[in-house]
Structure 1
Amino acid sequence: MTQTAIQSNRTDETTQGPLLAMTQHTPTVLWNDSADPAELSAAIGWGCVGATCNPVIAYTTIKKHPDIWGPRIRAIAERMPTAGESEIGWQAVKDMTVEAAKLLEPAFEKYNGRNGRISVQTDPRLHRDGAALVAQAVEFAALAKNIIVKIPATKIGIAAMEEATYRGVNVNATVSFTVPQAVAVGEAIERGLNRRDAEGLDTATMGPVVTIMGGRLDDWLKTVVARDAITIDPGYLEWAGVAALKRGYQVFTERGFRSRILSAAFRNHMQWSELVGGDLVVSPPFAWQEKFNASGIDPVSRIDVPVDAKIIEALSAKIPDFVRAYEVDGMTIEEFEDFGSVRVTLRQFLAADADLDSLVRDIIVPDPTR
């Protein structure tokens, strides 16, 4: 991996850590990619002012803490005697979200709604039903005053994001990996905000974000390179997600979108260090935050430093899916749901739903043979 961020031995960096230095001295904000209370509390100490979550993360958190969530899920089942496994599991996710929201209330008040929010993701099984996505987004937004709701960046999901924004829901695009997806979402959010403005409804305290899952774009391009026997410098593949994030940020800045880019799905430090200085969100998993804090990397502003032109040229010449992901007009909105990263990730989210159902089943209907 090419090292680009300057190493620093400055006293303040040693005592504060790179993440706290970033949050104190640059406009770039830190969110935690988990609603786990212990992780979120520690991240808040590093200047974290928000959190994201998804079905995989929620399932992992519940599975990792059976001593906490086993009794709680049994209590939910007793409280909801006619509920099925899925409804019980999603109630656990809602409970987790509400508790995390309380930890973020001070940041929510400090930033007047722009930060201090906890993401909860709409059920992936609703991805084909725009009206259901909007209805669930409205439901989730009512859980706490500082909720932000994730909706997939597909044609159906983007229309749902516009409508949900109009209804006052703060949205966060998910299943989003490319510049054309991010731009289409940014435009949809603007339309929703403009509709609210036209009716005199509040938009000043709203804080929508648009995720680009840079690491998952890298994952997909590595799959394409292996599948199609493409020869390319493997180090270049670590820069594809960074390039998309920087390009997306540039377009959002030029067009004056009120939503912010959010970097997620970390695979290398550049998906953090190369974005420092931008008015955007980085949302690493807690384990990556620990790595960043121990890295000694100086969080200097690099958002306006372009990715090496020879890397962009090589990726563009050899991998058509990079062009689709990097160019603003690389895909039409109708093509989003067929992009490789979208299919892979949506399948993972759907599988996590099934895994959560199974986990709940084992708790409320335990296997008598074990």
Structure 2
Amino acid sequence: MLSILEQLQQTNPSAEIWWDSSPLDFPRWRASFLEGARDETARGRWAAQLDRFLIPGRPTGSLVRGVTTNPSLVAKSVLAAPDLWAAEIREQIRCQRSPDIEGTFALLYGEAVGRAATAMLPLWEATDGQYGWVSGQLDPRHMFDAERMLDQALRLARRAPNLMVKVPGTLQGYDVVRQLVARGISVNSTLSYTVPQFVSCARAVREGLEQARREGTDTSRWRAVFTHMIGRFGSQGDLPAEAATRGIELSPADVRWAEIAVAKRIHRMIQEDGLPVKMLLSSLETDDPARGMSSLSMHLEQSAGGAIAYTCKPQFIADIMRRDGEFRGFDAHAIDGDVPPAVWEKLMRLPSFHRAITPHGMAPEEFASYGSFVSTYSEVIRNTRRLIDFVAHQLELSPPREDALLVSGSIG
């Protein structure tokens, strides 16, 4: 029996399923999930599906086509195996003449992302760079400093040929996107929620590709994805507050339609323009029947049939597998469907939706003050600080040896 995600992939040969965590974390998560199966029948069915989902050591036989990571996910991965990573940090400390928190953090983060890229490299090589990419996100503390982001991006890109640099959707970030594309470096535009951000990303990609062509830069193994953090757009934005202020009744389904409307418009723009950028949906969510929702996941069901990459959190995969009995199949043309007129009229009265759906509804200088962006940024910074504190604690426990070897204290 095909899994829900396998059925989704079959609605369009260009659809891709990605794993939103390190591939090295998959075996531990798989074992934990199957241990909690409700009965042996479910355990056997789920085990078979997960055996096809991601095969460590043989990614070419997996459903998964790419991997996304970020500081939050790396922090979770490291803190879930503190003994393993503490030993790695101690080794990084030992090899520095003057170890400090920032240098050791950079080495640790680069090592974590590099290991994920190594795990997916066979798929990248087997498909000549079409699949097997691993997104490595830039330090969120520098998302308003183009020079520092570019410096880190170039070092990250040198770690592995299948490392796709994940750049924030800020004014400064799109400048970095342009410069990376011009160098033939693959990019993932993240912390993005709106059509205006996509417009800025598309402009940066075009300009970067034009420069690459002028300079004879090889882009044959170059890829770009634009991440629409679909679930965060509604859950961490301003829609409910704006609706309450205006006396508009906004149901959970209405919020889902708002999230999906942005995805549909971006997908349509990509298809009409022929831009070599694929939309990647992240922060996918299931829907709650207790809140009047009749779907298992509108995010999947209303985007089916699109040339879309879906990056799936472990919890999201667990949720749809546990509820697979509720699933009634996909409409392979759902991505081309419209938002119900009554819902559209309601949403267009909300300022944050109007700004998000209109191609030039915001200037690039405004992206970082958009509600969903602010909420996500705060969370990412908090998780980054947790990882930095873990590194700091290891430094406290492991003072450097006097005869330590001198190596670079940078990501590269």
Q: TM-score, normalised by structure 1?
A: 0.88
Output the CA distance in 1 between the equivalents of 2:230 and 2:183: 29
1:17, 1:294 within 8 Å by CA — same for their partners in 2? no
| Percentage of pairs with the same residue | 26
Please state if 1:234 is matched with 2:251: yes
Amino acid in structure 2 at the alignment position of 1:16: L
| Alpha-carbon shift at residue 228 of structure 1 (Å) | 4.0
Output the CA distance in 2 between the equivalents of 1:54 and 1:255: 29
Where does 1:29-68 land on structure 2 (aligned, <5 Å)?
Answer: 29-39=16-26, 43-45=53-55, 47-68=63-84
Please state if 1:118 is matched with 2:118: no
| Alpha-carbon shift at residue 126 of structure 1 (Å) | 1.4
> 2:275 corresponds to which residue?
257
| Alpha-carbon shift at residue 366 of structure 1 (Å) | 4.5
Amino acid in structure 2 at the alignment position of 1:241: E
Output the CA distance in 2 between the equivalents of 1:87 and 1:365: 15
Range moving further from structure 2, 223-232 or 81-90 = 223-232
Output the CA distance in 1 between the equivalents of 2:82 and 2:246: 43
> 1:102 corresponds to which residue?
118
2:302 to 274, 278, 288: 274
Output the CA distance in 1 between the equivalents of 2:247 and 2:114: 47
Larger radius of gyration: 2
Please state if 1:322 is matched with 2:353: yes
For residues 104-125 of structure 1, the C-alpha deviation after alignment (integer angstroms, 9 at most, x for no partner) is: 1232134332321001111112
Please state if 1:131 is matched with 2:162: no
Output the CA distance in 1 between the equivalents of 2:315 and 2:331: 22
Output the CA distance in 1 between the equivalents of 2:243 and 2:83: 42
Unaligned runs of at least 5 residues, structure 1: 1-14
2:22, 2:116 within 8 Å by CA — same for their partners in 1? yes
> 1:363 corresponds to which residue?
394
Amino acid in structure 2 at the alignment position of 1:22: L
How has the CA–CA distance of structure 1 residues 84 and 271 changed in structure 2, closer, same or farther, with 3 Å as cutoff? farther
> 1:8 corresponds to which residue?
none
Amino acid in structure 1 at the alignment position of 2:341: A
Output the CA distance in 2 between the equivalents of 1:188 and 1:325: 19
The number of residue pairs the alignment matches comes to: 352
Output the CA distance in 1 between the equivalents of 2:185 and 2:175: 13
> 2:160 corresponds to which residue?
144
| Alpha-carbon shift at residue 85 of structure 1 (Å) | 1.8
Range moving further from structure 2, 181-190 or 199-208 = 199-208
Please state if 1:172 is matched with 2:185: no
For residues 245-300 of structure 1, the C-alpha deviation after alignment (integer angstroms, 9 at most, x for no partner) is: 11111111111111111101123322233222211211111221232344433244
Amino acid in structure 2 at the alignment position of 1:306: D
1:173, 1:185 within 8 Å by CA — same for their partners in 2? yes
The Cα RMSD (Å) is 2.2
Equivalent position SS for 1:119? strand
For residues 18-75 of structure 1, the C-alpha deviation after alignment (integer angstroms, 9 at most, x for no partner) is: 2123335632101111115132895425501111111111111111121322222222
How has the CA–CA distance of structure 1 residues 227 and 99 changed in structure 2, closer, same or farther, with 3 Å as cutoff? farther
Amino acid in structure 1 at the alignment position of 2:266: G
Output the CA distance in 2 between the equivalents of 1:229 and 1:54: 37
> 2:315 corresponds to which residue?
287
Amino acid in structure 2 at the alignment position of 1:265: S
Please state if 1:303 is matched with 2:335: yes
Unaligned runs of at least 5 residues, structure 2: 31-49, 56-61, 287-296, 399-412
How has the CA–CA distance of structure 1 residues 38 and 348 changed in structure 2, closer, same or farther, with 3 Å as cutoff? closer
1:214, 1:240 within 8 Å by CA — same for their partners in 2? no
How has the CA–CA distance of structure 1 residues 111 and 310 changed in structure 2, closer, same or farther, with 3 Å as cutoff? farther
Please state if 1:207 is matched with 2:223: yes
Amino acid in structure 2 at the alignment position of 1:34: S
How has the CA–CA distance of structure 1 residues 91 and 24 changed in structure 2, closer, same or farther, with 3 Å as cutoff? farther
| Alpha-carbon shift at residue 218 of structure 1 (Å) | 0.5
Equivalent position SS for 1:275? coil
1:263, 1:272 within 8 Å by CA — same for their partners in 2? no
Output the CA distance in 1 between the equivalents of 2:145 and 2:313: 30
2:169, 2:191 within 8 Å by CA — same for their partners in 1? yes
Please state if 1:21 is matched with 2:13: no
How has the CA–CA distance of structure 1 residues 333 and 354 changed in structure 2, closer, same or farther, with 3 Å as cutoff? same
Output the CA distance in 2 between the equivalents of 1:354 and 1:36: 23
Output the CA distance in 2 between the equivalents of 1:205 and 1:338: 34
Output the CA distance in 2 between the equivalents of 1:323 and 1:25: 30
2:144, 2:170 within 8 Å by CA — same for their partners in 1? no
Range moving further from structure 2, 352-361 or 169-178 = 352-361
> 1:353 corresponds to which residue?
384
| Alpha-carbon shift at residue 230 of structure 1 (Å) | 4.8
> 1:85 corresponds to which residue?
101
1:31, 1:283 within 8 Å by CA — same for their partners in 2? yes
Amino acid in structure 2 at the alignment position of 1:360: V
